[in-house]
Chain A
């Protein structure tokens, strides 16, 4: 359907963004479901366990962490960002006066919202985990170190979590856009990723580990933000350029 209406890019993006937030409301419910599943696994002590013994003593330590909640959230955002590039989701944008740029910008807005919601709830989920363990299990055996989180630390956790989630969402969005170029890429891209992992394992080159370490080992907050922002912009730009090359509907 053709439209003769003149509309600014900003207004088009705003309209589409608002629509996506309302239309994809179920994704935020799935975020909740994913975090609750992670919480259930973690509260059951799935994070880890170790034992040690001396002459007449055996000590068993069960490890807990909110990291699994974050990992599940990262998977959630990567998958959902990937889904935004699928034809079914992409074609919804054509209900509005739109072009590739406004569509991509609205998607970016949605991903930022998802990252903020995911980062905030994942960090608060780790506090919920602590409360569950403290109030619902035998708290006498709970070691204090790392149990208490200072508000400042929690804030850092929220911000860092959001930035990581933004990176995961940009990666998912880029891969999704790449796969839309040609059907054969649905096989080739996963094969390439698997190949890199196998190469890493065979030659101990640790390409993936080095890539992860590039972000995770960064101790300077400024450099960390710059690294994430750079990578995210690169991935979004790549996805935008790729989607511009896709066939016109």
Chain B
């Protein structure tokens, strides 16, 4: 009697495992397949720290994500960070007299690009308020390969490091202001105005 119980229990368990196997291979799965673990497409971390041609290094891996256009006739523009989060505004001077202020948000082309919150920009009078992206928390689940499966594969042990590198992400905010508009920036301790080379 007990022997039958053991036998049937193990048979049921085996059947569940086989059903699960069939379920796994017969039905297509929708997963975040765009997160690439191959390091070939990922910049080396040290590149981000390189002081030479910093801007190009940064924008080299970034794409324009959002753009704001404002007509501005004033002589002075006050740039004001609008929240307690740290905001870095890279300013580029454009041709004088155009009366056009352009704000651009760049993001590194990564799987996270579409999941992040955006900057918020608003021009009221002579005050351009720039609100940094809201803090975003993302949760992912990832499988590490079973060591029995990758026994004969070389280089599998760097998996975690490669995964982290594929997540590296940055957002940059650029402001294009005509050369004849005077800039007034009053940081409240969290903002930084970085003046770039004039175009």
B-binding residues in A (CB < 8 A): 22, 25-26, 28-29, 31-32, 45, 47-48, 50, 52, 54-67, 70, 121-128, 130-131, 133-134, 137, 139-149, 151, 153-154, 156-158, 160-161, 164, 216, 218-221, 224
Contacts and interface: CB of A to CB of B under 8 A. Distances in A.
A242 B151 CA distance: 33
B194 to A, nearest CB: 14
B140 A65 contact: no
B140 A59 contact: yes
Interface in B146-190: 146-149, 151-154, 159-160, 163-164, 167, 169-171
Contact of A54 (B2, B32, B159, B170): B170
Given A28-B6, A143-B31, A127 B133 contact: no
B132 interface: yes
A123 B18 CA distance: 11
Interface string B114-141: 0011000000000000001111111111
B17 A70 contact: no
Nearest 7 pairs of A and B residues by beta carbon:
A144-B33, A25-B6, A124-B17, A144-B31, A146-B143, A157-B149, A160-B148
Nearest to B116: A57
B142 interface: yes
B164 A52 contact: yes
A139 B146 contact: no
Nearest to A48: B144
B143 to A, nearest CB: 4
Interface residues of B, number: 60
B37 interface: yes
Contacts of B50: none
B38 to A, nearest CB: 9
B148 A143 contact: no
B39 interface: no
Interface stretch (B20-28, B53-61, B91-99): B20-28
B112 interface: yes
A219 to B, nearest CB: 5
B21 A127 contact: yes
Given A32-B9, A61-B142, A131-B23, A143 B17 contact: no
Given A65-B145, A67-B144, 6 more contacts: A56-B85, A62-B140, A127-B20, A216-B151, A219-B152, A219-B153
